[in-house]
Amino acid sequence: MIRSYFGLTDNPFALRDIDLLPYQQEIHDTLRVHCQQGGLCLVVGRPGTGKSVIKESLKRLPEKEHLVATIARTLHTYTNTVKILCEAFRIEFESSAFKCERKLIQEAFSLNRSGKMLVTIIDDAHLMEMENLRKLRLLLEDFPKNHNLILIGQVELLSSLDLAINQDIKSRVTYSVVTRRLSDEAMREFIHRELDRLGLAHSTFTSGATELIIRSADGVLRRCRNLCLSAMLEAVRASAGRTIDIDVVNRVLLQPHWQTQVDLTDF
């Protein structure tokens, strides 16, 4: 609907298509270096601060050079986590986790000999039971040394690793970074870069609408993305033309999930 209305060939503000901002590109490049050298990396931050964009960029690494396995269902048992790894490595699951571990290690060395770097990404790692994470870390210790385990989660993950019982994991961390809220200028750059990618003029969002989006997003990339997308949907719904002004954005901001508890006290 949006593509037809605005004359687009690509979906606007689609997570998989978003270009990395400079600070995200720096994190991406550092993680790639650790793929070559081997590592245990942490990418932590508050919800919506760009961790998923970095994860998607890693999943797009060239298949000829990398095998990227993503574990997103972190509330699973260790056995089910191993099943997910088997699926990523295109290995048939055996009757027990132990048998699968042996096959995973063999396949990892086979891929290594073929010149591939191995990357395992655990999303929402702060939700994973530490005992499961410990078992997974021990399994990956037997992988080739150019394997990189990347833990992506909220800042609570750092607090968990600070506990004395988890020092065996923390002591092996080779790189960590916190994704922080973006500056107003970085937010503006993000909006303009997305419009450039779509082939739309920067004036698609008026200056007033852009500033309102930036102010309302409060430095959170996901909020900025969702607000831009919602404003485009509202423009289509209201047939408000192909220029999104401050009135369109304000109509979106009237939706309850954009309002604070104080704003909702009259309802």
Question: Per the structure block, which two tokens stand in for 248?
Answer: 């369109």
Whether 22-179 and 182-258 share one fold: the answer is no
180-194: per-residue pLDDT in tens?
A: 899 999 999 999 999
Q: List the domain boundaries for the chain.
A: 22-179, 182-258
State the pLDDT confidence band at 265, using cuts at 50, 70 and 90.
Answer: low
**CATH class of the domain whose range is 22-179:** alpha beta
Could you tell me the pTM of the whole model?
0.83
Strand, helix or coil for residue 201: coil
Q: What values do phi and psi take at 252, rounded to 5?
A: -65, -40
Q: What values do phi and psi take at 130, rounded to 5?
A: -60, -30
Question: Which pLDDT does position 261 carry in this prediction?
Answer: 57
Report the CATH fold assignment for 182-258. Answer: Helicase, Ruva Protein; domain 3 (1.10.8)
45-99: per-residue pLDDT in tens?
A: 999 899 999 999 999 999 889 999 988 877 778 888 888 888 888 888 877 888 8
Which residue type does 49 have?
T
CA distances from 255 to 13, 47, 66, 177 (A): 20, 20, 43, 34
